Structure 1
Amino acid sequence: MNVLISGASVAGPALAYWLHRHGMQTTIVERAPEVRPGGLPVDFRGTTMRVLGEMGVLDELRAHATNSGARTVVDTNGNPVGTMPKEIFAGELEVPKADLTRILYDLTKDNTEYVFGDSIRTLTQDASGVRAEFEHHAPGTFDLVIGADGLHSQVRALAFGQETHFTDPMGYAFGTFSTPNYLNLRDTGFFHLASDRAVAVDVVRDDGEVMVFFMFPAQGVQRNRDAQQSAIRTAFEEVGWEVPALLEAMPKATGFYFDELSQVTMSSWSTGRVALVGDAAFCVSPMSGRGTSQALLGAYVLAGELSTQDTFETAFGEYEHALRDYVATNQKAARMAPAAFSAAPLTQDVLDEMAAASKGVDSADNVTLKDYSNL
């Protein structure tokens, strides 16, 4: 079977790894000119840790761990008011996203054809396969096409319809960037909550820089850097603590990224010979902290079902059946998170309860899946 995958972040390379391991041929097309750098740290928990172990990358990921400690929750004057246990935001293992994407690329580059700097322009299905036309390269025909190309998926738009039909805005936006570690943080961070706005500052392994994260109510922000940074400044201009200094640093910062928080909900993750995985199919938003795990588990299950079922239609159906409840639980938790933070004072008891829930045996992270690793 010859499979075209759109997207070279997490879900795409993970899917390529498992498809190749099950004897299939894969091609990944990626709009960016190379493996994308930067991104927020990502964390893993529960069943995802087992899957990473089966992929043989867990030890290498541990070597790149951020080693984040607990965050200190501070008031507007910088006074400590609580401690956010690392289980809430760093899971069992946290790594910079750039390290994860590089590791997945290195794992697959020798047995997957990567086409960087290009994207799919059209998809045409028939009984024998899917013909894909690209912006730059020659067209090709594939048995299946998988969209692993994120919240703003091109494959979803081509095969299913406009993005607005499937995205549910959450009424919040977030911006993130890196800046020099003028706070002299080591293996820790700060978190400040100002009503319905939040800011976090964390050191990410390299003590020379910190990563700044702003979250605030917003919708319809223009998709250009000036408008996005203006929206952040407007939302936080009267917030205390270190926020004025962070806003002043923002224009000169590296790795600036901004998006509005949205979830993707779809009645089906496939249509004919085209399917979606990761954020393209079931974006949960950064409020859950589960997006990367969903991508990795989705790739694992999708490849496993394609290798064990008699038809791709049955495989697509079983893939959805295995993950629907897990995704729905994560999306519900993410929708509740903003209100939970701003509804009442963020006491230590509340923070400890959140940490305990994230590592309990009944956590959604301990999802039961078939074992496809020994096929």
Structure 2
Amino acid sequence: MRFGILRGDLACILYEHTRHHVEYVFDDSITSLTEDPQGVRVAFERGGPRRFDLVVGADGLHSNVRALAFGPESRFVKEMGLYCAIFTTANHLGLDHTGQLYNTPGKLVGMYSARGNTEAKAAFYFGSPPLSYDRRDTGQQKKLLAEAFAGVGWEAPGCWTRCGTPRTSTSTRSARSTWTAGRPAGSRCSGTPPAAPRRCRAWAPAWP
């Protein structure tokens, strides 16, 4: 028998079990990395600068840390032509530890139960050339999805009003010969989309 756990739930569990002895910094972002013999000086968007022995970027597909350490992602990330958006929504289909899929050429809509059937996840996949959009703009992402799935049946019509905040990402291939640049480093997690829910998204810049 196989068991699964949502990455958002796993993030919450890890946070709750480490927050008393690990420093977490919320609602901030790195703006620059400067390495010297004593470590890495890290400048933040909101907080003051700090120094660390090691900086590891594991902040998702469009990793800010990776861009600062290795350069623009366009140099080593290749778009594969597939976009995905996942929402949390009510389990109005009454799904019992299962899911359903609806396919049309170039598009897929899926619904699966989550958290003991108390809610559901709605997933939308579609093929497209590279798209330009603000990944932090919920309204813009919903508009993009509504246009992409116009005329598609089943659960697609009206889903944008029932569902919460989308987590929209693209399928890519990351090609790097190394994941380190001195003391700054990028983990394999910087090549996959972040999935933790906003309420528990935490960012630990490094360990001093």
Deviation of the 1:260 alpha carbon: 2.1
Question: Over aligned residue pairs, what C-alpha RMSD do you find?
Answer: 2.4
For 1:92, the equivalent position in structure 2 comes to: 2
Q: TM-score, normalised by structure 1?
A: 0.47
Distance 1:115 1:227, change over 3 A: closer
Could you say if the C-alpha distance between residues 221 and 229 of structure 1 is closer, same or farther in structure 2, counting changes exceeding 3 Å? Answer: farther
CA distance in 1, matches of 2:116, 2:4: 14
SS of the equivalent of 1:131 reads strand
SS of residue paired to 2:117:
strand
User: Does the aligned pair in 2 maintain the 1:221–1:228 contact within 8 Å?
Assistant: no
Unaligned stretches of 5+ residues in structure 2: 197-208
Does 2:177 match 1:264?
A: no
Q: Is residue 102 of structure 2 the alignment partner of residue 189 of structure 1?
A: no
Map 1:119-158 to 2 at 5 A: 119-158=29-68
Does 2:138 match 1:225?
yes
Return closer, same or farther for 1:234/1:120 CA change in 2, 3 Å cut-off. Answer: closer
Q: Distance in 1 between matches of 2:33 and 2:144?
A: 37
3-state SS in 2 of match to 1:207 = coil
2:120 to 202, 210, 231: 210
The letter of the residue matching 1:236 is F
How many residues are matched? 193
Residue 148 (structure 2) aligns with? 235
Confirm or deny: 8 A CA contact 2:97 2:116 kept in the other structure: no
2 CA distance for matches of 1:167 and 1:228? Answer: 21
Mapped contact 1:151–1:264 kept (Cα < 8 A): no
Structure with the larger RCO, 1 or 2 (CA within 8 Å, 6+ apart) = 2
Q: Which amino acid in structure 2 is aligned with residue 237 of structure 1?
A: A
1:2-21 Cα distance to aligned partner (Å, 9 max, x none) = xxxxxxxxxxxxxxxxxxxx
Which residue of structure 2 lines up, in the alignment, with residue 275 of structure 1?
185
- Aligned equivalents of 2:43, 2:92: Cα separation in 1: 49
In the other structure, the counterpart of 2:23 is: 113
Q: Which has the higher helix share?
A: 1
How far off is 1:238 after superposition?
A: 3.0
**Native 8 Å contact 2:146 2:160 kept in 1:** no
- Equivalent residue, structure 2, for 1:16: none
C-alpha contact 2:91 2:117 (8 A) present in aligned 1: yes
**TM-superposed deviation, 1:134:** 1.5
Aligned pair in 2 of structure 1 residues 197, 220: CA closer, same or farther (>3 Å)? same
Shift of 1:275: 0.7
Q: Is the 8 A contact 1:264 1:279 kept in 2?
A: no
In structure 2, the residue matched to 1:174 is 84
TM superposition shift of 1:264: 2.1
Shift of the alpha carbon at 1:206? 4.2
Q: 2:74 aligns with which of 156, 161, 164?
A: 164
Aligned equivalents of 2:64, 2:16: Cα separation in 1: 25
Deviation at 1:190, TM superposition (A): 0.4
Following the alignment from structure 1 to structure 2, what is the Cα–Cα distance between the partners of residues 269 and 168?
17
Give a deviation string over 1:213-251, Cα, whole Å, max 9, x none: 0100122142233343233223323333x23xx330312
Matched ranges for 1:1-375 at <5 A: 92-218=2-128, 219-223=130-134, 224-240=137-153, 242-243=154-155, 246-280=156-190, 282-283=191-192
Following superposition, the deviation at residue 205 of structure 1 comes to 2.6
Give distance in 2, aligned partners of 1:205 and 1:136: 35
CA–CA distance in 1 between the matches of 2:89 and 2:20?
A: 35
Q: CA deviation at 1:200?
A: 1.0
SS at match of 1:172: strand
Instruction: Give 1:210 deviation, angstroms.
Output: 1.7
Structure 1 unaligned residues grouped into runs of 5+: 1-90, 293-375
TM-score by length of 2: 0.82
